[in-house]
Structure 1
Amino acid sequence: MSEGRLVLLNPGPVNVHEKVRAAIAAPDLCHREPEAADLMAAVSTKVTEVCGAGGDHRSVLLTGSGTAALEATIASVVPPNGRLLVLDNGHYGERLHRIAAAHGLPSQRLEFGWATPIDLEMVAAALLADPSITHVGLVHHETSTGMLNPLRAVGDLVAGHGRTLIVDAISSLGSEQLDMAADHIGWCIGTANKCLEGLPGISFVCAPRAGFASLADLPTRGLYLDLHTHYRAQVQAQTFAFTPALGVLHAFDVALDLMLAEGVASRGRRYAELAQLIRDGLTQRGVQLLLPPEHRANSLTNAHLANGMTYQELHDGLRRRGYVIYATQDRAAGVFRLANMGQLTEADIAGLFVAFDEVTTERR
C-alpha cells in the first residue's frame, strides 16, 4: 500500500486511477461555452456505449448522486394513471418504494425479504393481477446484501407483459453484464463513482430517445430533478439546464475512456478475481459469507462478524492500518461489507488480510 493511501473497500467512492484524479484539476471553464457542450456530449455518448445501447438511445447527465438520478427517473416517467411495481429484496429496493411514496405516486412493493432471491412467479402474478402497473423497478446489484438480481429474466418477464423496466444499475454498470436492448431495459440509472471508477458527483439516465421524448406529455413533478428538462437542454439544445460539476465531469470523461479501453467483460473478470481472493481469505479464517456463490455479484462480499467482534472494532482496527470497510443497514446487523470496486490490486487484498489478522489477534 502506498504511503498515506487509504484502500477503499466500501462500495463507492472508490480508489481511482491517477489520470482520473488529475483530470479534476482541468482548467476553469464556463458551462455555457462550446467546450462544456463538447464535454457533455462526449461523456453522454460514452455512457450510452457502456450501457450497451445503440444510436436510438441517449443518456442524460445529472450533477448529484445516483439517488438523484433514481428520483429524477421515478418522479418523471410514471404517468398519472400509471403504477410502479417495486421488486424489493434489500435496502435499495426499499429506497425505490420510498422515492415513489415521497412523490405520492401509486406503487406496489413486492417484498421478498433481504438476501432472498426474487420469485419470478410472484412478479408474473402481480403483473397479471394489476393492469394499472405501467413500470417495474429493479435493483440489479443490491449492495445491502451483495446480491445480483436476475436482470435478464426480469426484463424478459416485464417485456412479455408489456410493461416498462426501470433498472437501478448504480452498483453494477461497468462490472456486470447489462444490455439495454437484450435485457429490455426502459430506463437505466447509473453513477460515476462505483464500477465506472470515476469520482462522486455525476449520475445519469440512459433510455431510448423516444422514451425521453414521451415525457413531454407527462406532468412535471419537480424542477431540478425533472428528467425532461435535462433532456430538452442536453439533447435538444446541447447545453446544461443547470450548473454542472464540470471538474467531476472531466474526471468522469477520463474514467469512461479507461472503462471502454478495458471493456466491461474484462473489468468484470478483474473484479471477480479480486472478489474470490477476498472470499477465500475470509473462508480460510472461518468467517461465514452471507450469500451462496450463485447469488453473489463480482464486486462485493457481505460476511458475518465473527469471534464476538463488533463492526466498530473491526472497522476502526482496519482503518488505523489504512483499510476502509463498510457497515450494513440495520436490518442486516452483524454483517460487514468488503467491496472490490476501483483501482485495487492483489497486493491490496493481501495487505487487508495481514491487517485483518492483526486486528483479530489484538482482540484476543
Structure 2
Amino acid sequence: MNDSTPPRPERLVLMNPGPVITDDRVRAALAGPDMCHREPEFSDLLTRVRHKTTLAAGGDERHTSVVLTGSGTAAVEAAVSSAVPRDGALLVVDNGHYGERFQHIADAHGIRTHRLELGWATPVDPAAVERALAADQGLTHVAVVHHETSSGMLNDVAAVARIAHAHGREVVVDAVSSIGAEHIALAEDGIDWLAGSANKCLEGAPGLGFVSAARTAFEGLAGAPRRSYYLDLHRHYTAQEKAQAPAFTPGIPAFYAFDEALDLALAEGREARHARYSALAGRLRDGLEELGLEILLPPGQRAASLTAVRIPAGIGYRELHRGLRAEGFVIYSAQEQLAADFFRLSTMGRMTETDIDRFLAALARTLPTRA
C-alpha cells in the first residue's frame, strides 16, 4: 500500500434493503456439510425451516409454508400465479414500485387486473379499495404490499384484508421487506397468502423465498391453473408436505443459514427486533435532520427498516455513493420516478449504533460544504 491508497474500511456496512449484514452464526451455517437433497437429513432440515417460517409469519396450527429456492420476487410470483383461479381477477393496490410489480406479474400470466394506482408514497385509501371491489364482482383477489420499499412506506394490510373478506375476496400480501420486524401475522391479520424472503428482516442469506398460507388454501390449489412449472405452489406444497422433500434441487447452504437465522429471529421476537430496528432508524433520522437533509415520508407512515432521503443540492447520487463506499458504507438508489431526487438507507440486519454514528460522520464529510 502506498501513501495514495485509501485505508481499507474497518467494516462494510450494507445500508441497502437486503441482502443484509448477517450474524456470524448465520454466515458460519453456510459452510454446513455437503448433503443430498433426497436424503433424510435434508427432509429434517426442510421440515424445521418450514415450521419456523410459519411461526415467523404469525401462523398457527392451521397454517404452513412452502419454501422456494429463489428471491422474494419468486415467492410473490408463485403466490399470484398459483392462487388466482382461471376465471379470477386481481385488484392491484399500487402505491410504489412493488405494488406495480404485482401488475407486471399478473400481466405476464394473463391474469385480468384492476389497478388501483394511488401514486408513489401515497397512503392506501381503504375506501378506494372498497369501491373497487364493489364495482367489479369478478375481482377474486386483492394484492397489496406491506412495506413498499421504493419509498419506505408501511401499508395497513390488515385493513385491506378486512375489506376484502367483507366482500368475499382473498388477499395476497408482499411481506418481503417487512416480515420479521414489522407487525404482520397470518392468523391475527386475516392474510390469505403471504410472500416473504429469507434475506431481509429475517436476516438470513440470499436465495430463499417462501409463501405462507392455510393448509386448506394450499390443498385447494389442486384444481388451479398451472401457469408456471417451477413456481407452481401446489407442486411445491405436495412435495414438501406429503413427501417432506423439495420438488427440485434446493439451495442447501441457504437452507442451513435460514434455519439458524429463524432460530435467532424467533428467540429475539418480532417486537424486540422491531424495537431494535426502530431505535437505529430513529438515531439515523435524527442525524439526517441535523445535517439538514429531508426525509421523504412523515413519521407515521415510515417502516422501521428503511428511510428515503432527498439527495442534497450540489452532489449527485453516484458521487454520494462513491464517497460513502470508500468509507465502508453501501447506500441504495431510489427507483424510477424517485431516483432523480432520493436515495435510500436501510437499518435492516446486524447494524449497530456505532455503525449509524460512523455513517453520519462519513456522510457529513461527503456532503458539499455549505457557503
- The two structures have a TM-score, normalised by structure 1, of 0.98
Equivalent of 2:243 in 237, 240, 246:
237
Distance 1:149 1:310 in 2: 30
- Could you say which residue in structure 2 is the equivalent of 1:169? 175
Alignment of 1:139-288 (within 5 A): 139-288=145-294
- Could you say which residue in structure 2 is the equivalent of 1:41? 47
- Could you say which residue in structure 2 is the equivalent of 1:338? 345
Equivalent of 2:365 in 353, 358, 363:
358
Gaps of 5+ in 2: 1-7
Alignment of 1:38-117 (within 5 A): 38-117=44-123
Letter of the structure 1 residue corresponding to residue 352 of structure 2: T
* Count of matched residue positions in the alignment of Structure 1 and Structure 2: 363
Equivalent of 1:16 in 19, 22, 46:
22
- Could you say which residue in structure 2 is the equivalent of 1:25? 31
Q: In the TM superposition, what whole-angstrom CA distance separates every residue of 1:91-130 from its partner, at most 9, and x where no partner exists? A: 0000000000001111111000000011111110000001
1:295 partnered with 2:297:
no
1:349 partnered with 2:356:
yes
Q: CA deviation at 1:5?
A: 2.6
CA RMSD of aligned residues (A): 1.2
Moved over 2 A (4+): 2-5, 361-364
State the percentage of identical aligned residues: 53
Equivalent of 1:315 in 303, 312, 321:
321
Distance 2:341 2:350 in 1: 28
Distance 1:219 1:127 in 2: 23
SS in 1 for 2:189: coil
Gaps of 5+ in 1: none
SS in 1 for 2:210: strand
Q: In the TM superposition, what whole-angstrom CA distance separates every residue of 1:286-329 from its partner, at most 9, and x where no partner exists? A: 10110001100000000101122111111110000000000011
- The two structures have a TM-score, normalised by structure 2, of 0.96
Distance 1:141 1:69 in 2: 15
Q: CA deviation at 1:232?
A: 0.4
Distance 2:190 2:158 in 1: 8
